[in-house]
Amino acid sequence: MTTSSHLRAPAFDPTLLALSEEVSEALAHGRPVVALESSVLSGFPYPENLELAREMDAGIRAQGAVPARIALLGGKLRVGLDDALLQEFCAYGKVPKVSTRDIGVTLAGGGPGGTTVSSSLLAAELAGIRVFAVAGIGGVHRDAPASYDISTDLVQFTRTRTAVVCAGAKSMLHPQWTLEWLETAGIPVIGYRCDDFPAYLSVSSGVRNPHRLDDLSDVARATWAHWRSGNGTSVLVTHPIAEDDGIPSQEIADALAEATELAAREGITGPAVTPYLLKAIAEATEGRTAAANRSVLKSTTVLAAEFAVHLAKEEQR
């Protein structure tokens, strides 16, 4: 039986992917590149978001790698923003968050979109980038048994061969359930110099990492061994926020418990839950989350750049 051509899945259209000159040149010469999401920049006012982005990029370059921030602009999946495009994106202020589900609608409309972890990973793999940095991944929500709220980040990890360097899962998520989901999906989680799975704004979630390695060369070897043995998933490399900059996990937990109850009473559901809870945590900690967020964003990107250098060396062996 012959399948009509109009029923076949369309092939990827390379004209939708636009690499910056810096990123394109780095990939062509085998230099380490670190992909970054852009939705996080909407959480800061302009020009604070621009200053933060430039600091993160400078931290990556200082380690010998090239930053590749991903965003949707002008009907293109842009991988790497030069300073003019970065200023343009940051000046928009609040832009829609775009996960893999939303890419088609946003591209077709031509409007700006801030990529989340899932959409950034898709673009990074299409571009050929092996390392992605993010402060906190999405995961399984604490009310998942009732809401079925599980981040698309986890699903994308099963589809993408990318090393994801992070400080654990976002604070409002259930760390144990998130790790259980990752285990079921066969996604390795490696703690770099840490026994416990970090909790984004807190040093520890109280749950152990499945593995611990203390040398980035060993992490790079384990990552390539995972892929070379036929696995097609991401590898998570976790490392916590600096202790002096973190917020005690019990303080976060107390704020979450109260905010979750209030959200339920007010009928807040779906995508509105996460920003509501983050705002509640910020208020309960008297704004200390903003400083902690900046700290973990910068430290994670620097570590990702260091790791990208080791991963590139290991690839050449």
Task: Give per-residue pLDDT as tens, 32-58.
Answer: 999 999 999 998 999 999 999 999 999
Which band of pLDDT confidence, cut at 50, 70 and 90, is reported for residue 143?
confident
Residue 151 above 60 pLDDT? yes
**With pLDDT > 70 as the criterion, what percentage of the chain qualifies?**
97
d(CA 208, CA 188): 13
Region 17-37 average pLDDT: 98
**Is 204 annotated as contributing to ligand binding?**
no
Region 286-315 average pLDDT: 95
Q: Which of 119, 156, 127, 16 is nearest to 67 (CA)?
A: 127
**Is 149 annotated as contributing to ligand binding?**
yes
What pLDDT is attached to residue 92? Answer: 93
Question: What are the residue numbers of the active site?
Answer: 37, 170
Residue 77 above 50 pLDDT? yes
Asked whether 112 and 103 are in contact (CB, 8 A), the reply is no
What domains are there in the chain, each with its CATH number?
A: 15-315 (3.40.1790.10)
What pLDDT is attached to residue 111? Answer: 87
**Is 218 annotated as contributing to ligand binding?**
no
**With pLDDT > 90 as the criterion, what percentage of the chain qualifies?**
79
Measured from the Cβ of residue 300, the count of other Cβ atoms closer than 10 Å reads 28
What pLDDT is attached to residue 7? Answer: 61
E strands of 134-281, at which residues?
A: 163-166, 189-192, 211-213, 235-238
Region 293-307 average pLDDT: 97
Residue 2 above 60 pLDDT? no
What pLDDT is attached to residue 16? Answer: 97
Region 211-219 average pLDDT: 98
Region 104-114 average pLDDT: 95
**Is 117 annotated as contributing to ligand binding?**
yes
Residue 221 above 50 pLDDT? yes
Q: How far from chain centre, in Å, is Cα 83?
A: 21
Measured from the Cβ of residue 273, the count of other Cβ atoms closer than 10 Å reads 19
Residues 247-299 have pLDDT tens digits of 999 999 898 888 888 888 898 877 778 788 888 888 888 889 889 999 999 99
Residue 237 above 80 pLDDT? yes
Which range is least confidently modeled, 20-24, 156-160, 298-302, 313-317? Answer: 313-317
What the block records as the tokens of 221 is 């070897």
What pLDDT is attached to residue 261? Answer: 86
What the block records as the tokens of 92 is 């928009």
What pLDDT is attached to residue 317? Answer: 80
Region 186-207 average pLDDT: 97
Which band of pLDDT confidence, cut at 50, 70 and 90, is reported for residue 1?
very low
Asked whether 186 and 227 are in contact (CB, 8 A), the reply is no
